[in-house]
């Protein structure tokens, strides 16, 4: 791990493709399986599921992982290019560990491996257990460049995991749930595109497939590309669609747009989805919109650090306290379900990992059920607006050093330091929160939250205010300040 530069982020191991050699991916996979075996979570023989996204490097990495699975005495099963939640759901239902090869939303010069226990995502304590493993790589198996000398092709892809994922929604929602809705499906290079088509059409929507790409496109649901904003507006300009839907590269973070082509923020879609599923407890990271507390729709709201492992841990806390149903969501829109959801005699099994399709289906169905356009649902929420952006190629060490000025351990000193930098633009500082990064609340209620990415050398800024224009203007000012930190 130290030599390769491939490290754990918030969603598994990630690194540059050139660093994720067959040797590195083989070693990571062995470490994962050794950890599971040592923890008593594996039998002597068994299956390990594999899937990947559409990045050019994903097939090679999947083959390296499969070779490691065989070397450890297990049987690799190739489920093809399918959404991360589809693979995870299949593994959880069968008590089978799984590995998803994906870099999610980041550019395709990087990739990653998401590890799932037989019970779901690995948590931070599991990452530590994997890091602690010492693995023995087979002698003579790798060339000097780290490639496998005798790579074996993956077995033909099985369809069971994708079929089960689609059936999950068709079995829970009524077949007329989306009847009459005209939905544009922005496909780009997401592995969720075929599942979206099957589910939306299966629930009665008229689906038009848009923007299919043969090359990988890094769609980030938290920092939507200007070209995707323009595309959505153009597709909706003639009133052809009631909504647009999409997802990121591995299909665990949704995009939903209203009839005007305005993409909903992920944390707004998460609130609407949680309400439609009649959740009692909601868990979300510190960066999410505060409308979740202000709306008063949920009996308990728990805030965590950013990253699905922390959301999962928080959901377990609420479940153990007897709260149900319990769900979670992130600012990127990824939605997690901790407890089974029961409705009209049907059951939606828990899926404690990020999912995209549930958000689109629940939110669009809520609008149809109530006979209102999607935009009308968002207007029922308190007027709080968020905006986020990032600076790429911003070294993590530099981010940590700059943010340390506002995290001294002395609350008064932290407020003073934050005020000195951000006060001229945003006013007096009321509080500084260090749950994850530095979240500054100003006296007028505006919020600026600064945090290094856990997956890439990026520095993110999240802003929140009482108007969309103010949140966007705040974010632009934050970007100007953060750009100055490079010098």
Q: Which residues are catalytic?
A: 104
Count how many residues are written for the chain: 487
Output the DSSP codes for 417-447: HHHHHHHHHH--EEEEE-SSSEEEEETTS-E
Rounded Cα distance, 279 and 281, in Å: 6
Rounded Cα distance, 356 and 27, in Å: 30
Q: Which residue has the tokens 């074996």?
A: 152
Rounded Cα distance, 301 and 318, in Å: 9
The residues pairing with 441 across neighbouring beta strands, listed in sequence order, are: 431, 447
Rounded Cα distance, 400 and 418, in Å: 15
Element (H, E) at 354: strand 351-355
β-strand 98-101 against 346-348: which pairing, if any? unpaired
**Helix residue ranges per DSSP H, 158-297:** 160-170, 193-202, 226-236, 266-276, 291-294
Rounded Cα distance, 244 and 257, in Å: 5
Look up residue 88 and give its two tokens.
Answer: 């995870």
Phi–psi pair at 43, nearest 5 degrees: -90, 175
Rounded Cα distance, 475 and 484, in Å: 14
Classify the phi-psi angles of 225: left when phi > 0, otherwise alpha if psi is within -120 to 50, otherwise beta.
beta
Output the DSSP codes for 127-181: HHHHHT----PPTT-B-TTS-BTT--PPPPPPSHHHHHHHHHHHTTS-TTTTTT-
Rounded Cα distance, 243 and 373, in Å: 9
CB 22, CB 62: distance < 8 Å: no
Q: Which residues of 420-458 are buried (b: 16+ CB within 10 A; e: fewer)?
A: ebbbeebeebeebeebbbbbbbbeeebbbbbbbbbbbeb
DSSP secondary structure code for residue 262 in this structure: P
Q: What CA dihedral angle connects 373, 210, 53 and 452, to 10 degrees?
A: -60
Helix (H, G, I), strand (E, B) or coil at 72: coil
Rounded Cα distance, 175 and 118, in Å: 31
């Amino acid at each position: 791990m130290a030599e390769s530069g491939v490290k754990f982020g918030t969603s598994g191991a990630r690194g540059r493709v050139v660093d994720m050699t067959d040797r590195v991916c083989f070693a990571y996979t062995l470490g994962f399986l050794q950890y599971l075996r040592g923890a008593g979570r594996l039998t002597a023989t068994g299956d390990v599921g594999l899937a990947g996204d559409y990045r050019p490097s994903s097939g090679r990495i999947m083959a390296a992982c499969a070779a490691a699975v065989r070397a450890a005495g297990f049987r690799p099963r190739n489920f093809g290019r399918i959404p991360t939640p589809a693979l995870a759901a299949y593994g959880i239902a069968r008590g089978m560990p799984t590995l998803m090869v994906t870099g999610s939303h980041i550019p395709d010069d990087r990739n990653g491996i998401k590890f799932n226990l037989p019970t779901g995502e690995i948590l931070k304590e599991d990452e530590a257990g994997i890091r602690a493993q010492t693995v023995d790589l087979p002698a003579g198996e790798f060339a000097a460049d780290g490639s496998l000398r005798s790579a074996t092709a993956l077995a033909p892809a099985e369809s069971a995991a994708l079929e089960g994922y689609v059936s999950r929604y068709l079995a829970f929602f009524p077949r007329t749930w989306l009847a009459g809705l005209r939905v544009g499906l922005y496909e780009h290079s997401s592995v969720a595109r075929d599942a979206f088509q099957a589910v939306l059409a299966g629930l009665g929507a008229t689906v038009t497939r848009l923007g299919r790409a043969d090359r990988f496109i890094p769609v980030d649901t938290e920092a939507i590309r200007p070209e995707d904003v323009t595309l959505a507006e153009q597709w909706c300009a003639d009133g052809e669609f009631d909504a647009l839907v999409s997802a990121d590269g591995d299909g665990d973070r949704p995009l939903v747009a209203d009839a005007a082509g305005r993409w909903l923020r992920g944390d707004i879609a998460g609130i609407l989805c949680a309400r439609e599923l009649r959740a009692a407890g909601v868990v979300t990271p510190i960066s999410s919109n505060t409308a979740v507390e202000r709306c008063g729709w949920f009996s308990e709201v728990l805030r965590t650090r950013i990253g699905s492992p922390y959301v999962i841990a928080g959901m377990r806390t609420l479940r153990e306290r007897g709260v149900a149903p319990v769900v979670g969501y992130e600012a990127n829109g990824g939605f997690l379900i901790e407890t089974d959801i029961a409705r009209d005699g049907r059951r939606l099994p828990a899926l404690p990992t990020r999912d995209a399709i549930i958000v689109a289906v629940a939110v669009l169905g809520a609008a149809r059920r109530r006979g209102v356009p999607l935009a009308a649902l968002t207007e029922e929420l308190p007027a709080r607006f968020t905006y986020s952006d990032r600076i790429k190629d911003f070294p993590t060490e530099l981010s940590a050093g700059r943010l340390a000025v506002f995290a001294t351990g002395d609350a008064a000193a932290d407020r003073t330091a934050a005020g000195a930098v951000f006060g001229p633009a945003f006013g007096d500082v009321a509080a500084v929160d260090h749950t994850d990064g530095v979240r500054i609340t100003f006296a007028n209620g505006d919020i600026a939250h600064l945090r290094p990415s856990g997956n890439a050398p990026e520095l993110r800024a999240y802003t929140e205010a009482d108007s969309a224009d103010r949140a966007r203007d705040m974010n632009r000012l934050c970007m100007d300040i953060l750009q100055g930190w490079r010098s």
